[in-house]
């Protein structure tokens, strides 16, 4: 695995955050007086500001050459008055400045990683390796909970970033199937994964036949919420996401458990299912776009078309690579192989949640969802009716396109 790096400035917040029109809440601004103003005039002006609007909060002063300025919190009405005042030269929002992110290139990466890091993707029909572009951070200070068949925690893909969380199936703290290890590798493996620096927690709720019970799901979700709260309290992580690459019958209890995890601050990513049916007929996809903090992922093939097996419909949030995805397997610490399914698509998106949060920890769940869902819209070919046509995207090469 070889990485190349370059520097790129990416002001992510500006892409998704806007101030509602007509809002009267105070915001941060900088104000610069004309060079010709005297200290006395500026002092009178400041007094006038406070008198006109008691909510005005001047936080400090600065100089620009021969000009003097202030910065603070002002309402839109006061900002308008300032901009019309003859003594004022400049009034601007006190915007954030962003340091440069390092843009890394991983050559010979699995095709799914290449797809989520490019707006356009040349169809190849071979599912070969490609170029994965990603920004520095890439999962740092985040945790990915893999709710699955367990994980081979000793696999080289996970190094010192993984721990066994809890087992709700049996007393074998290992992955006897391979599904969970493959999913974990795609989400956060060091060479085959999206969020290469994220921490990983194995939570086993599916047996060697990839089946489990609703009750075990509920117990596992409760355990994850408690564990996450402990990690936050000890400053061991900043954000977390759950990947659940399984479906079942619709369930009010499951929906309530997912909602409780989201309320606790944990993002939830689920697979659409592989029945070639409407995803809304199954859980947890049945909530789909109606729930903040949850993304349901359908499977995409290498020609940007829906996978032949994937579920579809209005409960889908986004597509991600899910056919012949190369990732870690459970037979040895260096075992790799191909799997297909919406189970493989979902961890691409779970990894992206961790990826975006590592770039900006102040992102809300809505902002994370918008970045993943809307940055590469209308790209799916020969799509199903009433199904989104968006492909998950990490925006790393946005300036190159």
Tens of each residue's pLDDT in the chain, 401 residues: 445 544 433 333 333 323 332 334 568 899 999 999 999 999 888 888 888 888 888 898 898 988 999 998 999 888 898 989 999 999 999 876 655 568 889 999 999 999 999 988 754 545 667 889 998 788 999 999 999 999 999 999 999 999 999 999 999 999 999 999 999 999 999 999 999 999 999 999 999 999 999 999 999 999 999 999 999 999 988 999 999 999 999 999 999 999 999 999 999 999 999 999 999 999 999 887 778 899 999 999 999 999 999 999 999 999 999 999 999 999 999 999 999 999 999 999 999 999 999 999 999 999 999 999 988 888 899 999 999 999 999 988 774 44
Q: In this structure, is residue 120 part of a structural domain? A: no
74 and 152 fall within a common domain: no
189 and 298 fall within a common domain: yes
Active site residue 362: no
Q: How many separate domains does the chain show?
A: 2
300 and 218 fall within a common domain: yes
Active site residue 148: yes
From the candidates 114, 117, 148, 191, give the one annotated as an active-site residue. 148
Out of 64, 93, 122, a domain closes at 93
168 and 312 fall within a common domain: yes
Active site residue 263: no
Domain membership of residue 89 as a residue range: 28-93
Q: In this structure, is residue 245 part of a structural domain? A: yes
SS (H, E, C) the chain: CCEEEEEECCCCHHHHCCCCCCCCCCEEEEEEECCCCCHHHHHHHHHHHHHHCCCCEEEEEEEECCEEEEEEEECHHHHHHHHHCCCEEEEEECCCCCCCEEEEEEEEECHHHHHHCCCCCCCCCCCCCEEEEEECCCCCCEEEEEEECCCCCCCCCCCCCEEEEEECCCCCCCCCCCHHHHHHHHHHCCCCCCCCCCEEEEEECCCCCCCCCHHHHHHHHHHHHHHHHHHHHCCCCCEEEEEECCCECCCHHHHHHHHHHHHCCEEEEEECCCCCCEHHHCECCCCHHHCCCEEEEEEECCCCCECCCCCECCCCCEEEECCCEEEECCCCCCCEEEECCHHHHHHHHHHHHHHHHHHCCCCCHHHHHHHHHHCCCCCCCCCCCCCCCCECCCCCCHHHC
From the candidates 71, 118, 155, 179, give the one annotated as an active-site residue. 179
Report the predicted TM-score, pTM, of the whole model to 2 decimal places: 0.78
From the candidates 343, 358, 369, 375, give the one annotated as an active-site residue. 343
């Amino acid at each position: 695995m070889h990485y190349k790096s370059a520097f790129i400035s990416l002001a992510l917040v500006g892409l998704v955050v806007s101030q509602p029109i007509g809002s009267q809440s105070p915001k941060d601004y900088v104000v610069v007086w004309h060079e010709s103003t005297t200290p006395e005039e500026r002092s009178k002006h400041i007094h006038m500001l406070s008198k006109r609007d008691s909510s005005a909060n001047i936080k400090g002063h600065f100089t620009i050459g021969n000009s003097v300025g202030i910065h603070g919190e002002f309402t839109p009405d006061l900002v308008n008055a300032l901009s019309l005042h003859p003594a004022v030269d400049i009034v601007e929002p006190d915007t954030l400045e962003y340091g440069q992110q390092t843009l890394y290139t991983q050559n010979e990466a699995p095709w799914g990683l290449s797809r989520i890091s490019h707006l356009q993707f040349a169809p190849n029909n071979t599912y070969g390796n490609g170029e994965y572009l990603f920004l520095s951070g890439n999962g740092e200070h985040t945790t990915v909970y893999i709710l699955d068949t367990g994980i081979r925690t000793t696999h080289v893909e996970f190094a010192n970033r993984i721990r066994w969380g809890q087992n709700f199936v049996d007393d074998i703290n290992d992955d006897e199937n391979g599904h969970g290890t493959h999913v974990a590798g795609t989400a956060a493996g060091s060479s085959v994964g999206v969020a290469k620096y994220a921490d990983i927690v194995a939570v086993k709720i599916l047996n060697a036949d990839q089946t489990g019970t609703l009750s075990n799901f509920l117990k596992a979700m409760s355990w994850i919420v408690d564990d996450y709260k402990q990690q936050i309290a000890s400053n061991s992580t900043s954000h977390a996401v759950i990947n659940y690459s399984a479906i079942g019958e619709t369930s009010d209890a499951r929906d309530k458990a997912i909602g409780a995890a989201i309320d606790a601050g944990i993002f939830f990513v689920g697979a659409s299912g592989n029945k070639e049916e409407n995803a809304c007929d199954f859980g947890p996809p049945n909530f789909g776009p109606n729930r903040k903090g949850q993304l349901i992922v359908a499977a995409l093939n290498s020609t940007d078309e829906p996978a032949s097996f994937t579920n579809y419909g209005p409960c889908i949030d986004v597509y991600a690579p899910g056919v012949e995805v190369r990732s870690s397997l459970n037979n040895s610490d260096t075992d790799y192989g191909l799997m297909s399914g919406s189970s493989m698509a979902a961890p691409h998106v779970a990894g992206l949640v961790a990826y975006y949060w590592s770039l900006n920890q102040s992102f809300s769940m809505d902002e994370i969802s918008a970045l993943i869902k809307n940055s590469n819209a209308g790209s799916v070919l020969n799509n199903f009716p009433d199904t989104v046509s968006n492909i998950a995207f990490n925006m790393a090469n946005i300036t190159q396109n």
